Amino acid sequence: MTTTAPRVGRPPEDAPGDAPAASGAAAPELPPARGELSAAVSGRLRGRSAALPGPRAVAAADPYGEDLQLALHLCYELHYRGFAGVPDAAEWDPDLLRLRALLEERFEEALRAGCAGSATPAEVFDALLTEPPDGQGLSRFLLRHGTLEQLREYAVLRSVHQLRESDPYAWVLPRLWGRAKAGMTTVLYDEFGCGREERVHARLYADLMRGLGLDPRYGHYLPVVGAPVLAAANLMSLFGLHRARRGALVGHFAAVEISSPPAASWHAAALRRCGADEAAARFYDEHVEADAVHEQLVRREVVDGLLAEEPGLAADVAFGARATGLLEDALAESAVGAWRAGASALRAPTEEEA
């Protein structure tokens, strides 16, 4: 973590708002490795044939550490847009899939240990509606104390997830039916812009980044974000890619939709307080309005509909929501801790030219 505030420049002159490079159509470059595991995955993606790490190396890694989380992110990204120069066939490389399974197992073991204890979905969701103690929480910090530079850093941190905002949730659709499927489809239709490309939430986030003078290209800031950001993004892929974790993905989705409206209103207010471009606040304005409706749809139709059909998934739904909170708290602690210490929340300065 650097103690120097990052230099935040504007997107390249040759990347206008509707160009593919700026909108995220291009695959990102592979980022630098952060240890043995991520170096091995990166090497395989670059065409090297060396053997990949086995169970012993994965078991020795920090489940929330930079190396394991980047290695897992590299494996997961193959199911999204991939990386520049990496063939599409790498998505189904059996050796990479075996390593990914080991990484997932290590990650999930830590998550379940951190979410020990029992709770019903309703109890977990009700707790999300309770505001944190005064002065705590990332959104409250930005509302009351955040500078424009810190708001830019926050936009960079969130870009890993927000530029593909609802994509992992779409994987659950073939695994739902009845009320749950209808409700989920309704919410995702809004998330994907109701048929209008300029209203897609990931596009609105790209507009937010442009409004803050940031580069909106998909995956551009992966090298400068830390493990807490990667872990929060990886959680969605962990749940979304596995049918067995459909309940956990629904729990994740519910947790996000329930907690989003108040946080979005605070972020919009913080941006306006700091004099940010209106395009930056528009993303959060959209979430204040949309997610207030989505919260009710998710709880009454998606969650209740799923559990009416499969009551045995209640513990998975609760786990998904609790794991979401666990990783969001870790991300907040990391970022706010850095800012309170007068440091940057990024691993290194950004490099765009002003």
Domain boundaries, the chain: 31-114, 121-340
> What are the residues whose beta carbons fall under 8 Å from the beta carbon of 349, sequence distance 6 or more?
2, 4, 5, 6, 7, 224
Q: Is the pLDDT of residue 21 over 70?
A: no
User: In the Cβ-directed half-sphere of 32, how many Cα atoms lie within 13 Å?
Assistant: 7
DSSP state of 138: H
* Segment holding 228, helix H or strand E: helix 227-240
Report the alpha-carbon distance of residue 282 to residue 64 in Å, rounded: 33
Q: Is the pLDDT of residue 19 over 50?
A: no
φ/ψ bin of 82: left (φ > 0), alpha (ψ from -120 to 50), beta (otherwise) = left
Report the alpha-carbon distance of residue 249 to residue 168 in Å, rounded: 9
Q: What is the pLDDT of residue 136?
A: 63
Q: What is the pLDDT of residue 296?
A: 84
Task: Find the largest Cα–Cα distance for the chain.
Answer: 54
For residue range 321-345, what is the model confidence (pLDDT) as tens digits?
999 999 999 999 999 999 999 999 9
* Segment holding 248, helix H or strand E: helix 246-273
Q: Is the pLDDT of residue 53 over 90?
A: yes
Nearest residue to 302 (alpha-carbon basis) of 203, 197, 181: 181
Query: With contact defined as beta carbons under 8 Å apart, do 262 and 131 qualify?
Result: yes
Q: What is the pLDDT of residue 85?
A: 95
Report the alpha-carbon distance of residue 268 to residue 109 in Å, rounded: 36
> What share of the chain has pLDDT > 70, as a percent?
89
Q: Is the pLDDT of residue 7 over 50?
A: no
Report the alpha-carbon distance of residue 208 to residue 197 in Å, rounded: 15
Has domain 121-340 been given CATH number 3.30.420.40? no
Query: With contact defined as beta carbons under 8 Å apart, do 1 and 341 qualify?
Result: no
Residue 187, token pair as written in the block: 């919410």
Report the alpha-carbon distance of residue 252 to residue 107 in Å, rounded: 16
Model confidence, pTM = 0.90
* Segment holding 295, helix H or strand E: helix 278-297
For residue range 251-294, what is the model confidence (pLDDT) as tens digits?
999 999 888 888 889 999 999 999 998 888 888 888 777 666 78
Report the alpha-carbon distance of residue 130 to residue 114 in Å, rounded: 20
Residue 77, token pair as written in the block: 């990204």
Task: Identify the residue whose tokens are 């999300």.
Answer: 128
Report the alpha-carbon distance of residue 279 to residue 205 in Å, rounded: 9
> For residue 62, how far is the Cα from the chain centroid?
20
Nearest residue to 259 (alpha-carbon basis) of 223, 292, 217: 292
